[in-house]
Chains A and B, each alone.
Chain A
Amino acid sequence: MLKIDGLRVNYGGIEAVKGITFQVPERQIVTLIGANGAGKSTTLRTIAGLVKPSAGRIRLQAEDITGMSPDRIVSKGITLVPEGRRVFPDLTVLENLKIGAYLRKDSLEDDLEWVYSLFPRLKERSWQAAGTLSGGEQQMLAVGRALMSRPKLMMMDEPSLGLAPLVVKDIFSIIKKVNEQGVTILLIEQNANMALHIADTAYVLETGRITLTGTGEELLNNEAVKKAYLG
């Protein structure tokens, strides 16, 4: 579905991504794992159009989307759940969700129902300012907000960051559920254990290069990965 070909990105004066090539097949959960500064976030931000690549191609279902503006990329069906959740704190939960659907002109009722059925907690808090939610609830809101654009591909940047282990489990089970309903997922995580357990395909990124590829299970049992990321 998504094909990345020889992608190079300069970010803050250094080459953060040094020519990576990978694919995200339709309806799969794909994960990129790697240490801090491996270039994971930069890769996602580049696909979302927030950062421009210096070389390489990004293709979505055979259409070249390299260098498009973020709003056009969102309208093509790629959405990003940014790192650290970044909900709009002074807006209500409902307003946050509606902003997720900003580029859509059709009726939102069905999708609101869908998101609320995935996250019943959000329905209860629909009139509350997003800043007053707990960390876990904010992450749910960030996912719900991204889903409101009815994406084909949802990219998630460190969804487990700063959350209690139980909440992380919840979030991952929701990711799986969303995926089962037909949304392709590209996930980056430092919590490699969790990510590899739900991933169909996984890539290991080290200082801007992909060093290992396999199914989630293969990488879970890989000695090098165990040593470096699973402890």
Chain B
Amino acid sequence: MISEKKSKRGVFLALVCVCVLLALTIVLENTLDPIKNTILFTVLKKGAVYALVACSMNLLNGFTGLFSLGQAGFMLLGAYTYAILTIPVDQKAAVYYLFGGSAVGFSLPDLFGGADSPVGLILGVVLALILGGVVAAGVAWLIGLPVLRLKSDYLAIATLGFAEIIRAVFQWEKLGPVTNGANALKNFPTFTSFNVKDASGAVVLRLSTFVAFLIAAICIAVILLLINSSYGRAFKAIREDEVAAEAMGINLAKHKRLSFCISSFFAGVGGGMFAMFANQAQAKTFTTAMTYEILLIVVIGGIGSISGSCIASFLYVAASEWWLRFLDSETQLTSIFGFQLAKPFKVPLLRNGFRMVVFSIIIMIVVLFFRRGLMGDKELPDLLRKRRTAKKKGGGDRG
């Protein structure tokens, strides 16, 4: 069929784009001055992490129609699992100094030859991330048993409550030997551990951003494959009409649970990546506000669009961390367009916190003018295809 060939070409194009993007991150990171451009790479790394978590949330909220707000809770599970399993054995005493060492006596990278050898690092980190996802998915399965009987708002409230409970449990003093209580877990391998160093310890090849992009890209590709499989169709059918889906022979309970667990798995992996990005894992960072940030990204990008979630997450992170930063600092202008001012002019309104005001207004405008988000439920290749067919037919056709 013609259309199948077309979609195959779309997949090929997407693959090429992703490879180019990955290559670009390596080039950028190794040509730009890492100290002057710290903020750029921070945004890129955080954007990649958020893109993955937003896609996982979109799988559940946008494609299966289950409105869940537990994402931060699952990220926390992933982050802690990752951190606990990768803190090098010789660092444990320092990290867990309040509790006299860790109850977990091993470290995954150490099992494969230590975090300093490439094999140990890659295997240990990958395995720990996957295990983080598995723990999140396992917990999702358990709480899914009662919670997935609920619908819409009720499900949102139940999952929100779950995330809060998880956060409280992980800060519990009695669990200290495992979770380090309310203190941060640190000293585990992070994105920067992937930078290649020579014998003297100087960095020869920077790969930290590349690694973040690579992991996120692989996970998002898996989510995309899932959405385009027959399972994905079943998820969409459930979103559109539960009764009709059931009449078509789709087992509602099974597929909802599947979607919930897969979404949580990738949120868990994303949580592990967030720990790598932040160089530490601490329960108090995984607040409800974080879930809302991700929900915002999903809504801005378009509910039901994976490429929308990815684009929106970079825009969101860049705007909140970088582009609007200047609004937070008081500024004294001594000259305007080259004209010297008699006395320094203090720009009004610019002070700590003003950034969030402007940011909220921008988000409101975006939501008002893009009702269905930047991408609606379309993906990037859809837009290209539409333009092509419109050109062919002289426009005006729905394609």
| Residues of A that sit less than 8 Å from B by CB | 48, 50, 69-71, 73-75, 79-80, 82, 86-91, 95, 98-100, 102-103, 126-128, 132, 145, 149
B296 partner residues in chain A, CB cutoff 8 A: none
Q: Tell yes or no: B399 within 8 A of A by CB.
A: yes
By a CB distance below 8 angstroms, the chain A residues around B233 are 91, 95, 98-99, 102
3 closest residue pairs by CB, A with B:
A74-B249, A86-B244, A88-B240
A-B contact pairs, 17 of them (CB 8 A): A48-B247, A70-B247, A70-B251, A79-B249, A80-B247, A87-B244, A91-B240, A95-B236, A99-B234, A99-B248, A99-B250, A100-B248, A102-B237, A102-B248, A102-B250, A126-B3, A149-B248
> Chain A contacts of B33 at CB under 8 A?
none
Known: A74-B248, A100-B248. A90 touches B230 (CB 8 A): no
Once A95-B233, A99-B233, A102-B233 are accepted as A-B contacts, the answer to whether A82 and B240 lie under 8 Å apart by CB is no
Asked if B250 contacts A71 (CB within 8 A), the reply is yes
Report chain B residues within 8 Å CB of A149: 248-249
Give the interface SS of chain A, mostly helix, strand, loop or mixed.
loop
Query: For the complex, is B246 an interface residue (Cβ under 8 Å from A)?
Result: yes
Q: Return the contact of A102 from the options B240, B243, B249, B304 (Cβ within 8 A).
A: B249
Closest A residue, CB atoms, query B234:
A102
| Contact across chains for B249 and A70 when beta carbons are under 8 A apart | yes
Q: Select A86's contact among B236, B241, B250, beta carbons within 8 Å.
A: B241
Closest B residue by C-beta to A72: B249
On whether the beta carbons of A99 and B243 are closer than 8 Å, the reply is no
Chain B residues in 8 Å Cβ range of A73: 249
- For B182, the chain A residues whose CB sits under 8 A away are none
Instruction: Report how far A80 CA is from B399 CA in the complex, Å.
Output: 31
Task: Say yes or no: is B393 at the interface (Cβ < 8 Å to chain A).
Answer: no
Task: Count contacts between A and B, CB distance < 8 Å.
Answer: 72
Is B392 interfacial (CB 8 A cutoff)? no
Chain A: minimal CB distance from B331 (Å): 48
Q: Are A86 and B243 touching (Cβ within 8 A)?
A: yes
Output the nearest chain B residue to A128 by Cβ-Cβ distance. Answer: B398
Contact B236 A88 (CB under 8 A): yes
B377 → A minimal CB distance (Å): 7
Interface size class of B (residues with CB under 8 A): 20 to 34
Separation of A103 and B250 alpha carbons in the complex (Å): 8
- Chain B residues with Cβ under 8 A from A126's Cβ? 3
Q: How far apart are the CA atoms of A98 and B250 in the complex, in Å? A: 12
* CB-CB nearest in chain A for B240: A88
Chain B window 219-246, contacts with chain A (Cβ cutoff 8 Å), 1 for yes, 0 for no: 0000000000010011011001101111
Give the distance in Å from the alpha carbon of A88 to the alpha carbon of B399 in the complex.
19
In the complex, the chain A residue whose C-beta lies closest to that of B254 is A71
Please, which residues of chain A bring their CB within 8 A of the CB of B377? 90
Closest to A90 in B: B240
Q: Which residues of A contact B243 (CB under 8 A)?
A: 50, 82, 86
Q: In whole angstroms, how far apart are the Cα atoms of A86 and B243 in the complex?
A: 8
Residue interface mask B55-81, A partner, CB < 8 A = 1: 000000000000000000000000000
Alpha-carbon distance between A149 and B248 when the two chains are bound, in angstroms: 8
B237–A99 contact, CB under 8 A? yes
How many Å from the CB of A229 to the closest CB on chain B? 27
16 more contacts with CB within 8 A, not counting A102-B250, A132-B398, are A50-B243, A71-B246, A71-B250, A74-B247, A74-B249, A79-B247, A82-B244, A86-B243, A89-B240, A90-B240, A91-B233, A91-B236, A99-B234, A102-B234, A126-B3, A145-B248
- Bound form: Cα–Cα A69–B251 in Å: 8
Contacts of A75 in B (CB 8 A): 249
In contact, A50 and B247 (Cβ under 8 angstroms): yes
Partner of A98, one of B230, B241, B244, B245: B230
Complex: A103 Cα to B399 Cα, angstroms:
30
Q: Which A residue's beta carbon lies closest to that of B237?
A: A99
